[in-house]
Amino acid sequence: QFQPVESGGGVVQPGGSLRLSCDLSGYDLNTDAVGWFRQAPGKGREAVSCISASRDRDRTDYGPSMKGRVTIFKDHAKNTVDLQMNSLKPEDTGIYYCGVTSLLALCVPTAFDYWGQGTQVTVSS
């Protein structure tokens, strides 16, 4: 099966912004659900945001830790799902992963079948 590929991570100062991108070559954005998750050192993987296809419009879900500071959206031209992150805090530091599933019930890591290698985000002054 194809593996999603994350990009866009880096080092940013507190209050800054980053845009992450998940390359979904081999997947269909019209049917597959995609989620962004993050994992800080010594902690479990937690949901940042998920987006799934529905008949009328895409459904988006946001985890509590970054809600109001992130936006998830699809770029059909590039076949990517991007995550725009604003007002970043030091506690947002971690590895950000992109997951794909064909049927999304909940925006939780166990619902996703295929994962990328992750991209490191470091928020530090």
Mean pLDDT of 9-31: 95
Banded pLDDT at 5 (limits 50, 70, 90): very high
Q: At residue 107, does pLDDT exceed 70?
A: yes
pLDDT of residue 105: 79
Q: At residue 84, does pLDDT exceed 70?
A: yes
In the chain, % of residues over pLDDT 90: 82
Q: What would the 3-class secondary structure string for the chain be?
A: CCCCEEECCEEECCCCCEEEEEECCCCCCCCCEEEEEEECCCCCEEEEEEEECCCCCCEEEECCCCCCCEEEEEECCCCEEEEEECCCCHHHCEEEEEEEECCCCCCCHHHCCEECCCEEEEECC
pLDDT of residue 55: 66
pLDDT of residue 56: 66
How confident is the prediction for the chain on average, in pLDDT?
93
pLDDT of residue 57: 79
